Chain A
Amino acid sequence: MADDRRLDGNAIGGMMLELFGVEMTTATEVCRTCGTADVVARLEVYMDAPGTVVRCAHCKAVLMRIVRGPDRTWLDLSGFRSIELRSPD
């Protein structure tokens, strides 16, 4: 796997802000596959495909897929056990 393709969760901060309405890079998620808790900023992110793929930094399982079109967004969150969102200030 070409290493330079791998970004981190900071790169989807803007997209997540738009989708969830709150700052998400500091949100804590739990991976459904390995149970590790981490903050979104530290996840592995691949953005060079037609969609965005987010993987667990520990077990590499796919946590989230995001595909955006001109008038809709398709969001697959099935790799998460949970995500803890902070209430807006």
Chain B
Amino acid sequence: MTGAVDETPRVRTLLLEADGWPGHRAGQHLDVRLTAEDGYQAERSYSIASAPGEPLAITIERLEDGEVSPYLVDEARDGDTFEVRGPIGGYFVWEDDGRPVFLVGGGSGVVPLMSMIRSSSESTPIRLLYSSRTLEDVIYRQELDARAGDRVEVFHTLTREQPPGWAGYARRIDAEMLREVAWPSAEQPHVFVCGSTRFVDVAADGLVALGYEPLSIRTERFGATGG
């Protein structure tokens, strides 16, 4: 571990230097394995946040009952070492071919999507629909604000609490929201959806109802417990 960035009160990005790391593709994850003094091992998967070619970074949300994430978010310091395995995944992976990209993220599900945004070419249109509980919980908020413009459009929804004057969405993701934000399916955008199981199921079902081909929707679900 070579550095860290506090993203929100519960989320931290760790910069890693991994011996023999072969490089990754946007959307992939890695496994972190921690070994206790008595030999007990715990292993968890974390999405890679950095663009390919940039210093390796993972972003971790602290799960209160977790075995691994509390250590990584609250205790790990520069110079600490732990085992990583990866890069992992070939399905939830994006290759920039210039076609529009529709990204749908819930909570820390935005992490692999951020790797895609960070690695996208200057001409690839991207829309991100990003659901968070509160404004304080929005990961990469400043960077997303800075990147948002004509090419990268960012649509936030805050499900639990909204600041005064909030102009974004203020409810859980639903079919209506997807219809307002997504490109028409005829434009054949790449689609990546990442979040909790419930979130991904709602988003994928909503996109299918809009006419998206089910096999064109790339999904990745993560657990709400156990991290």
* A8–B221 touching, CB < 8 Å: yes
Contact of B223 among A7, A23, A26 (CB under 8 A): A7
Q: Is the CB of B197 within 8 A of A3?
A: yes
Q: Check B198 against A3 for contact (C-beta < 8 Å).
A: yes
By DSSP majority rule, is chain A's interface helix, strand, loop, or mixed?
helix
Known contacts A11-B45, A13-B29, A48-B226; A6/B88 CB under 8 A? no
Q: Given the complex of chains A and B, what is the CA–CA distance between A18 and B84 in angstroms? A: 12
**Residue B219 lies at the interface, judged by CB distance under 8 Å to chain A:** yes
A42 within 8 A of B: yes
How far, in whole Å, are A47 and B44 apart by their CA atoms in the complex?
Answer: 11
| Binary contact readout B13-40 vs A (1 if CB under 8 angstroms, 0 otherwise) | 0000000000000000111000000010
| Min CB–CB distance A14 → chain B (angstroms) | 4
Residues of A contacting B89 with CB < 8 Å?
10, 13, 23, 25, 41
Q: Which residues of A contact B (CB under 8 A)?
A: 3-11, 13-14, 17-18, 23, 25-26, 39-42, 47-48, 70
28 A-B pairs whose Cβ atoms sit less than 8 Å apart in the complex: A4-B196, A4-B224, A5-B197, A6-B221, A7-B223, A8-B219, A8-B220, A9-B91, A10-B91, A10-B221, A13-B29, A14-B31, A14-B45, A14-B85, A14-B88, A23-B88, A25-B88, A25-B90, A25-B91, A26-B91, A39-B91, A41-B92, A41-B220, A47-B226, A48-B223, A48-B225, A48-B226, A70-B39
